[in-house]
Structure 1
Amino acid sequence: MTAPPGNPGRVWPAPLDDREASHGNGAVVAGVDGSSSAVRAAVWAGTEALRRGRPLRLVQVYALPQVRAPIAVGTREQVRAGLAECAEGWLAEARTAALAESPGLEIDVAAREWSPVTALIQESRHADLVVLGSRGLGGFTGMLVGSTAVSVVAHAQCPVVVVRGRRPQDPPPVAGPVLVGTDGSSDSDGALAFACEGARLRGVGLTVVHTWSDLVADGVLRPHPLQDDATEIDQAERAKLTDQLRPWRDKFPDLPIDLDVTRGRPVRTLLERAEHAQLIVVGCRGRGGFTGMLLGSTSQALIVHSPCPVAVVRSRTTGNGETR
């Protein structure tokens, strides 16, 4: 199979070995599926790669359709050849669009015959970031509306960004602050680190969003919810968040960091604030308002309704089960 014009490509019909996977070391990986959403995601990923000083890796994953009746070997190979040809065209289109926005960017392309979810999870082992469009076509159909999205995010070993605009066909916004949702626990530190660096690279401020409830604290019911004073709760939550942010202010002394502490629901609050933001960052582990963020309606609400890209930062664990 030939590569997209102007760039050497590779086709892997099976899982990558360590040598092949090393091509994606430290890259920003974008999934390509022929949709306009994926092209916009590739352009966004290219801009992000340039900011980070990383190469961009465009990956197209296709699979032979499953049929009940046996088919001739020749027909099967013809189908495979057709899918590979489509992959070449889609990769070339995404590469051209990314280069138009980020001239001189180093871009690697790869077409893979495999399961899209499994392939992206494997790509994440060596990537700096995985970027997906919000609407799929071809191999990525339905990626962001069900268990597939949950699987990619839950098992990816690097942050995952879903690129969105205000409307389905709109490009992602490029103005406004970076938002990060935190529940005050140490599990939010990964999201805070990603958000601080993202805001610094963009030259914009960071808004840290924290919601609280007068009925629940740290994931459990308050002992006397009807007797607690809302003002005191707000002050206590704000003080806890201030303590959590102190090391990040020290690490990023020139970064403007605003605190947004409010009583309410995390998704609703984030979506309201996102109307004027260019990126939302959340973690996928935590307590309080962000518990289960990526396992149900909360994550789907952000992915489906956010007017800007959503970055999901999964806490990494060591071999001893410790979060890092």
Structure 2
Amino acid sequence: MTDRSGAPVVVGVDGSASALDAVRVAAREAAIRHRPLRVVYAFQWPLLGTPLGPMSAALPDAELRHEAGKLVAEAVDEARKLDSELPVSGGVVDGAAVPVLLRESRDAALLVLGHRGLGGFAELLVGSTAVQLSARADCPVLVVRGEPRADGPVVVGVDGSALSREAVGFAFAEAAQRGTTLVVVHAWRYPTPILPGEIVPLVYDPEELRAEEERVLAETVAGWSERYPEVPVRRKLVAGTPAPALVAESTSAQLTVVGAHGHGSLGGLLLGSVSHALLHHAHSPLAIVRHRRGRGTA
């Protein structure tokens, strides 16, 4: 799907407090994007024998489905409390969380997930579910972490790859929609051996290395400032590893943005320590942008 002009913001719910936090964030995201909100519950009981949140295993299937419908209705009501003009719909969809939300992402502008959950979204960020969705969803994924706030900058991590430039485009659009500053963070390290037997230069000029990293950072942002002249930009070059830098910047951010894959300092973002740090320690909602040919930044 390349034209997502009418695509909704989709949020997964399960009756947990974290899911209701996600609904509130998703409602705000839908409102600032002028898009409808869709609330989805992944109903797993008939397929996997997973309890419906705190519901008793003694309840028959029909009653469990009714309870799931009530949880969706509660979430829809919560969204409407925040914005009575926001178009909101909801549904109970058979299946496990990952396949259900992957299908929903095909026609979504943004997929919003809570930090923790029950039932269909249990252990969402502890196991592989968030990694799978972030790596495979057909739209950006927003994981609600920390204390959602309406002030503070949008922060984006970059590494010079094509994907990080796409993440920058998404972050510029977010900063413009929110009327806030964009902080572009690029972390770099002096040459050090990573693999056994790897050879690094014995002599190098730190100033030349820093100048090269400054160039990478400037090229990643180039063009976007012209497209979004109303967005104030702060470029931040950090000597060190990306995870601590991005976690620290997220403390004052209203949104942190990263790409699903990359190279250099942000390489393997969702497969190693950087993803672990951000998914478990970020102090703001985290947007993960995956490259998809023909897709805009939405």
Q: Name the TM-score, length of structure 1 as normaliser.
A: 0.81
* Worse-superposed segment, 133-142 or 208-217: 208-217
**In 1, are the aligned partners of 2:243 and 2:278 still within 8 Å (CA)?**
yes
Q: Is the 8 A contact 1:214 1:225 kept in 2?
A: no
| 215, 219, 231: which one aligns with 2:207 | 231
Mapped contact 1:51–1:201 kept (Cα < 8 A): yes
> Which amino acid is the alignment partner of residue 147 of structure 1?
S
2:83 equivalent to 1:102: yes
1:162 aligned to 140, 143, 148, which one? 143
**1:128-277 to 2 correspondences below 5 Å:** 128-165=109-146, 171-215=147-191, 224-277=200-253
Distance 1:222 1:77, change over 3 A: closer
Report matched runs for 1:39-118 at 5 Å: 39-64=20-45, 66=48, 79-118=60-99
Q: How far apart are 1:79 and its partner, in Å?
A: 2.5
1:222 Cα offset (Å):
9.2
Query: Counterpart amino acid of 1:214?
Result: Y
Partner amino acid for 2:240?
G
CA distance in 2, matches of 1:224, 1:140: 45
In 1, Cα distance between the equivalents of 2:240 and 2:95? Answer: 43
- Distance in 2 (alpha carbons) for counterparts of 1:226 and 1:79: 70
Q: Which residue of 2 aligns with 1:11?
A: none
Quick one: distance in 2 between partners of 1:129 and 1:291? 23
Contact 1:132/1:162 (8 A) holds in 2? yes
**Cα-Cα RMSD:** 2.3
Per-residue CA deviations over 1:86-128 (Å, capped at 9, x if unaligned) read 2112112211221111221000101012111100001000000
- The amino acid that maps onto 1:62 is F
The structure with the larger Rg is 1
Q: How many Å separate the matches in 1 of 2:65 and 2:127?
A: 26
Q: Deviations over 1:200-245 (max 9, x none)?
A: 010000000001111169x9x9964442222221121112211221
| Structure 2 residue matching 1:244: 3-state secondary structure | helix
Unaligned runs of 5+ in 2: 50-56
Deviation readout 1:250-306 (Å, 9 max, x if unpaired):
111121111000111111100111111111000012110111111233212201111
| 1:89 counterpart SS class | helix
Match of 2:10 among 29, 36, 54: 29
Within 1, Cα distance between the matches of 2:255 and 2:91?
A: 27
Please identify, of 185-194 and 156-165, the stretch whose mean Cα deviation from structure 2 is larger: 185-194
Determine if contact 1:278/1:308 at 8 Å carries over to the other structure.
Answer: yes
Secondary structure, in 3 states, of the residue corresponding to 1:108? strand
Unaligned runs of 5+ in 1: 1-17, 19-23, 68-75, 166-170, 319-324
Distance 1:206 1:252 in 2: 11
Q: TM-score, normalised by structure 2?
A: 0.88
SS in structure 2 at match of 1:276: coil
The answer to whether the 8 Å contact 1:214/1:228 transfers is no
